[in-house]
Structure 1
Amino acid sequence: MNPAASQFTLSRFWEQGDAISHAVAFVLLAMSLVSWFFILAKAYAAWRIRRGAPAVAAFWDAPSMQDGVNALSLADPEKIFLPLAQQGAAQLTASSRPSLGGEMDRAAQATRVLRGAIQTSTNRLESGLTLLASIGATAPFVGLLGTVWGIYHALANVSSHGTVQIDKVAGPVGEALVMTAIGLTVAIPAVLAYNGFNRVNRLTLAELDAFAHDLHAYLTK
C-alpha cells in the first residue's frame, strides 16, 4: 500500500484521536442508531396507517355504530382513527349522571370528546418527530466540533516538532474532516425522514378532521 495513502484511513484517525475525538464519534454513532430506529419504526407505522385509512369510508357502510367500531378496530392497528369511533360510540350510550360535561348540550359534548380523541391520535402521529428534527439539526455541528478539535489536535502535534511540512499537516487535517462528513451522513437521513413523515401526518390529520366532522354531524343529528 502507498505510504501516503495509508495516512488517510479511519483506523489511523482513530489511533491519533484523543478522548474528546472518540467521545464525539460515539455520540454521532448513538445519534445515527437512534435516528434509524425511529425512521424504520415510523415508516412501518406510517405504512400501516395509510393501509388502514380506506377503512374510514367503509365505517359508514356498517349497519350500526358498534359494527363500524369493530370493523375499524381490525383495519386500524395503529389506533389512529379508532379512538374517534370509540368516543362516538361511547357518547351515544353515555349515562346521564350529574357531571360538568353532562351540563353541556349534545353538540358541545360531542365536540369535547372528539377533540380529545383527535389530540390522542395527533400525539401518536408526532411521537419521535422532535427527536428526528433535533438529530438532523445538531448532527452536523457535532461533526464540526469533532473536525475543529481534530484539526487543533493535529496542528498542535505538528507544531511540537518545530518544522511544518505539508505531508505532516494534510493527513491529520484530512482525517479530521471525516468527522464533518459523518455528521452530515447522520443528519441527512433524519431530515429527509422528518419531512416525509410530516407530509404523511398532514394527510392523516386532514382525514382525521374530516372523520371527526362527520361523526359530530352523526352524533348531533
Structure 2
Amino acid sequence: MNLIASPFASIESTVIWLLILFSVATWGLFLLKAGQFTRLKVQDRKFHKQFWAASSLDSAAPLTQSNPGAAARVAAAGYAAIQVHEGSASDLSQAINHQDRLERALRQQIVRERRSLESGLAVLASIGSTSPFIGLFGTVWGIMSALKGISAAGSASLETVAGPIGASLVATGVGIAVAVPAVLVYNYFLRRLKLTAADLDDFAHDFYSLAQKSQFRVLTHPAAHKSAQPGTPRNVKEAS
C-alpha cells in the first residue's frame, strides 16, 4: 500500500470518482429522458385520437389549447399561421400568403420540438466517447505511481509489481463500464427521437393537406382569438 502512497495515487482516485459521477449522470439522464418520451407518447396519442375524431379542421382548433404534447403544439403553430378572425377579412395581416406561412410555421415548430427532445443527448454522447480515455488516463498515472514505488523499494518481484499495476488497471475497467451504458442509452433515445420526429412530420403533412382543402383559411371566433392571442404574435413573428 505504501508503494502507491504518492500524488499520483490521488489523481487515480480522482479519475475513479469522476467516472462514478459520469455513471450517475448517465442513469439520471436515462430516467429523465425515459419519462419525457413516455409522457410525450401518451400526450400525442391522446391528441391524435381527439383530433381525428373532430368533424372539421375548424372544430379541432380548441383541442390545441386543452392538450399538451408535441403534436398539439405543432397543430397550434399551424392554426396560428392560417387562422382568419371574424370581422378582420380586410386586415393587412390577411393578405399574407397563408400557404407559405403555414409551411414555415410547421417546419419551425418541429425543429423546436426536436431541440427539446435532443436536450441531454449530447451529454450522453460525450460520456460514452470520453469515459474510456479518462479511465486509460487514470491507469497510466497509476502505473507511473506503481513504477515509482517499485523503484523506491528496490524490488521487482511479482508480488511487488502485480498489486500496484493491477490496481491501476481498475480505472480502465471502470471507464469502459461507464461508457458502454452511456452509448447504449444514447443510441436508444436517438432512435426514439427520430421516430418521434418522423411522426411529427407525418402529422404536419396531414395538417397541411387538411388546410389545403380549406384554402389555407381557418375561421376563428373572437372569443377563441382572445384565448389564443398571447401566443399568436410569437408564432407570426417566427413565421415571418
TM range (shorter): 0.7 to 0.9
Amino acid at match of 1:51: V
State the alpha-carbon separation in 1 of the partners of residues 25 and 103 from structure 2.
38
What is the alpha-carbon distance in structure 1 between the residues aligned to residue 3 and residue 200 of structure 2? Answer: 52
Which structure is higher in RCO with an 8 Å CA cutoff and minimum separation 6? 2
When residues 119 and 162 of structure 1 are mapped into structure 2, their CA distance, relative to the original with a 3 A threshold, is same
Task: Measure how far apart 1:29 and its partner are.
Answer: 2.0
Any conservation in 1 of the 2:134–2:175 contact (CA below 8 Å)?
A: yes
Quick one: which of 49, 57, 63 aligns to 2:40?
Answer: 49
1:14 Cα offset (Å): 8.9
Native 8 Å contact 2:3 2:150 kept in 1: no
User: What TM-score results when the alignment is normalised by the length of structure 1?
Assistant: 0.82
Give the TM-score of the pair, scaled to structure 2: 0.76
Structure 1: state its 5+ residue gaps.
1-6
Q: Which residue of 2 aligns with 1:32?
A: 23
* Runs of 4+ with >3 A deviation: 12-17, 94-99
1:201 aligns with 2:201: no
Alignment-mate amino acid for residue 21 of structure 1: E
Alignment of 1:136-155 (within 5 A): 136-155=128-147
Matches within 5 A, 1:1-150: 18-55=9-46, 56-63=48-55, 64-70=59-65, 73=67, 76=68, 79-93=69-83, 98=92, 104-150=96-142
Mean CA deviation greater in 174-183 or 43-52: 43-52
**CA deviation profile, 1:148-199 (whole Å, cap 9, x unmatched):** 1101111110111122111111111111111111111111111110111111
Residue type of the alignment partner of 1:191 = V
Aligned equivalent of 1:4: none
Q: Is the 8 A contact 1:66 1:89 kept in 2?
A: yes
User: Residue type matched to 1:133 in 2?
Assistant: A
Structure 2 unpaired stretches of 5+? 214-240
1:53 is displaced (CA, Å) by 3.6
Q: 1:21 to 1:118 in 2, by over 3 A?
A: same
Q: What's the Cα RMSD here?
A: 2.4
Q: Percent identity?
A: 37
- Deviations 1:61-80 (Å, cap 9, x if unpaired)? 12412243245x1xx4xx32
Cα 1:103–1:163 change in 2 (3 A) is farther
Structure 1 Cα separation of the partners of residues 95 and 10 of structure 2: 65
